[in-house]
Structure 1
Amino acid sequence: MILYKLITTSMIIGFVLLYQFCFVLTLDYCKICKKGTHTLCKYQEGPSSKCTRYRKTDLSKSTKKYILDVHNDIRNHIASGQETKGALGRQPSAANMNILRWDGELEEMAQRWADQCLQLTDDNQHDICRLTERFDVGQNVLTAVTSSLELPDLAILILNWYKQVHDVIPSDIEVFSGIQRGKYLIGQYTQLVWAETRFVGCGISSFQDTNHTSEPLQYLHRLVCNYGPRGNVIGSSVYEKGVPCSKCPFGRCDSIRSNLCEDYYHNHEVFKWMHLIGDPVRTKQYFDGDSCICLYNLS
């Protein structure tokens, strides 16, 4: 029995290392998209020529942790079933909601898109293609307007997506049918709490609103967060209703946020790199978190 376990473990490690090696060798962002050009292929690193009075925001380790903690605290709260807001009252608890981990590839794509410094009047507030070898990628975007280049509290921006919970009803959770129900936008919230999403990476840019030239000047702070595997898949559930953490993939809860499923792949050495293996089947219809300008005025 012990010998069998050793052989099985060795086979898994060998497969993962082989996949990781092939993954590094074969990844070409300029060839990955069937429609449009990948963000990391189309745009160079750094602010585009459209950026005026651009301020670079380096995401320190502590800032990344802060963004991640806000996301996971929201997910843990929703999974607990203690959220009382909603168009029909309390939100149902989640049986299968994963804890999120920070992802460098998602961050790089998000920062590259944020650095295009789109104005509020520009079309296509979302980039056309941001696929990875591992999974399809969802996206939430918010542009805050202020009278200063000082970056607003990022928690305020993320919580603005969360506010859509006020308009969510149980049927929205059971079967996702779109980012908008009637006049209510819910897609940023549903991506935020999509149970099967396991990774997040964000980028931030601050620059002048060139459409507003009179004094005082206005500045735009653009937060882009990418999620993988993506949420907002038509016909799928946002999460499974039930006792928190009762339907986790490996049957284990996170040790800190006990209503979320443990990231088994990360916490167990044998499976450390298994997240590199994605789902090759990508035929479902899906949406980004919004189709709006995503304006949030903090002035």
Structure 2
Amino acid sequence: MRRVPPGVLPLGLVLLAWGAQGLFLPNATHWEQLLAKYRQDAPHARARRAISRADREEILMLHNKLRGQVQPAASNMEYMTWDEELERSAASWAQQCLWEHGPSSLLVFVGQNLAVHWGRYRSPAMHVQAWYDEVKDFIFPQPHECSPWCPERCLGPTCAHYTQVVWATTNKMGCAVNTCRRMDVWGSIWENAVYLVCNYSPKGNWIGEAPYKAGPPCSACPPSYGGGCWNNLCYKEETQDRQPETDETNEVETASIPGERYVWEQPRVTRPMKPERTAAGSYMTQVIQCDTKMKDRCQGSTCNRYHCPAGCLHDKTKIFGSLFYESSSSICRAALHHGVLNDTGGLVDVTRNGRKPFFVKSQKHGVESLSKYKPSGSFLVSKVKVQDLDCHTTVAQLCPFEKPMSHCPRVRCPARC
């Protein structure tokens, strides 16, 4: 596996390596050329793409190469294509220079991988390879373990970048690169940071599911592919001839709708049928440890529902804040501190709450939190509610959306809906 070089950071990967070569620029001309590659200051009727055609092709080719070589082999892995709408939405977010997933309204429909680096030039494909290299920490769930929900086994800080890259039913992607003059990366200011955003559709990383079906390649492809198979991927021949790149084809028309950065058409994401009853003690959730920190685990603007183990009361992992907890805090110990859980463990909901200027210490429910007088991302913890529904209840009735986001309760559905 390739090691992530100094000055490179995928979001969620706790490997903040600093190198002297990232601070010294022996070739300023080369650096200015790099900055100019993704920036065009002069007004123009057409806007330069946020990523070059060469980089687009390299990213797409590498995704399909990696998807075709997964182990165990995938029976339903679909060929991935480039989507210009996803590229535009990625460009819009990359321009914000925020080291977090977003925007929240889009994350309901798309998956997203992020990476950032500074210093010498590195191709976007290098970040894609780093995402895939999380496979070393991922244990693929066997079919007999998925009854009905598959266990999540990741031995590292996160495997979510890898699983999104190889999510079988994700067949469209679009990426963008932006050079941010000053970018706050977990409390450190990176100057001239090169920010990569990749959006995926239909989104992957559904909790309780394996990223793909194991089996002979292309043996379980959707019927829409007509039996086509290419390099172990479900494939359908393109009917549109590719055109050579020119100055014009490397530009796109600027948005004609005032106030909108992109227009997004909601993709259709199908979900598997749920069982009538869930076995006792089985949760559609991610199992975490007492020392799991929110910034290491929480992916996207709305975080996952987590299951904490027993015995976190006497764990030594630090937490910062009281009502709002700083992102480097232990999720489970924050839940204990807030009174959401007791020392027997259980389910907890986590919600991002934006940046706060400071965090104040307190002692509650036998857990002491610390102060931190430095702006940082925050989160809230809350109890997981369970509600019985009938077959006619809609999501809008169950939990109407409230800004900035809403957590829906766990639900019990009756039989024969």
TM-score by length of 1: 0.58
> What do residues 228-256 of structure 1 show as CA deviations (whole Å, max 9, x unaligned)?
000001122210000011111135233xx
Counterpart among 169, 192, 199 of residue 139 in structure 2: 169
**Alignment partner of 1:117 is 2:97:** yes
> What do residues 74-122 of structure 1 show as CA deviations (whole Å, max 9, x unaligned)?
11111xxxxxxxxxxxx3110000000000111111010001112x5xx
Counterpart among 268, 271, 285 of residue 278 in structure 1: 268
Structure 1 residues 164, 172: closer, same or farther in 2, change over 3 A?
farther
Could you tell me how far apart the structure 2 residues matched to 1:96 and 1:176 are?
Answer: 17
**Alignment partner of 1:63 is 2:55:** yes
Query: How many pairs were matched up?
Result: 205
**Identical-pair percentage:** 31
Corresponding residue of 2:128: 158
Corresponding residue of 1:253: 228
**Alignment partner of 1:127 is 2:100:** no
Given that 2:139 and 2:154 are in contact with CA atoms closer than 8 Å, whether structure 1 keeps it comes out as: no
**Alignment partner of 1:236 is 2:219:** no
- Return the structure number with greater strand share: 2
Given that 1:94 and 1:242 are in contact with CA atoms closer than 8 Å, whether structure 2 keeps it comes out as: yes
Q: Identify unmatched segments of 5+ residues in structure 2.
A: 1-34, 40-48, 241-264, 275-283, 287-297, 304-326, 329-417
SS at match of 1:169: coil
Given that 2:176 and 2:197 are in contact with CA atoms closer than 8 Å, whether structure 1 keeps it comes out as: yes
Could you tell me how far apart the structure 2 residues matched to 1:108 and 1:172 are?
Answer: 37
The structure having more radius of gyration, on CA atoms, is: 2
Corresponding residue of 1:74: 66
Corresponding residue of 1:33: none
Given that 2:174 and 2:199 are in contact with CA atoms closer than 8 Å, whether structure 1 keeps it comes out as: yes
**Alignment partner of 1:96 is 2:79:** no
Counterpart among 167, 170, 179 of residue 197 in structure 1: 170
Could you tell me how far apart the structure 1 residues matched to 2:101 and 2:300 are?
Answer: 11
Structure 1 residues 129, 76: closer, same or farther in 2, change over 3 A?
same
Paired amino acid for 2:172:
F
Structure 1 residues 276, 58: closer, same or farther in 2, change over 3 A?
closer
**Alignment partner of 1:188 is 2:168:** no
Could you tell me how far apart the structure 2 residues matched to 1:95 and 1:167 are?
Answer: 22
SS at match of 1:223: strand
What stretches of structure 1 move > 3 A for 4+ residues in a row?
172-178, 180-184, 209-212, 279-293
TM-score by length of 2: 0.42
> What do residues 266-285 of structure 1 show as CA deviations (whole Å, max 9, x unaligned)?
559xxxxxx99724879999
Given that 1:138 and 1:288 are in contact with CA atoms closer than 8 Å, whether structure 2 keeps it comes out as: no
Given that 2:94 and 2:197 are in contact with CA atoms closer than 8 Å, whether structure 1 keeps it comes out as: yes
Structure 1 residues 172, 130: closer, same or farther in 2, change over 3 A?
farther
How far is the alpha carbon of 1:161 from its aligned partner? Answer: 0.3
Corresponding residue of 1:32: none
Q: Identify unmatched segments of 5+ residues in structure 1.
A: 1-52, 79-90, 269-274, 294-299
SS at match of 1:129: helix
SS at match of 2:115: strand
Given that 1:187 and 1:289 are in contact with CA atoms closer than 8 Å, whether structure 2 keeps it comes out as: no
Paired amino acid for 1:126:
G
Could you tell me how far apart the structure 2 residues matched to 1:238 and 1:210 are?
Answer: 32
> What do residues 112-133 of structure 1 show as CA deviations (whole Å, max 9, x unaligned)?
0001112x5xxx44321216xx
> What do residues 117-156 of structure 1 show as CA deviations (whole Å, max 9, x unaligned)?
12x5xxx44321216xxx921000111132x5xx421211
Structure 1 residues 97, 189: closer, same or farther in 2, change over 3 A?
same
Given that 2:55 and 2:125 are in contact with CA atoms closer than 8 Å, whether structure 1 keeps it comes out as: no
Given that 1:162 and 1:192 are in contact with CA atoms closer than 8 Å, whether structure 2 keeps it comes out as: yes
- Return the structure number with greater helix share: 1
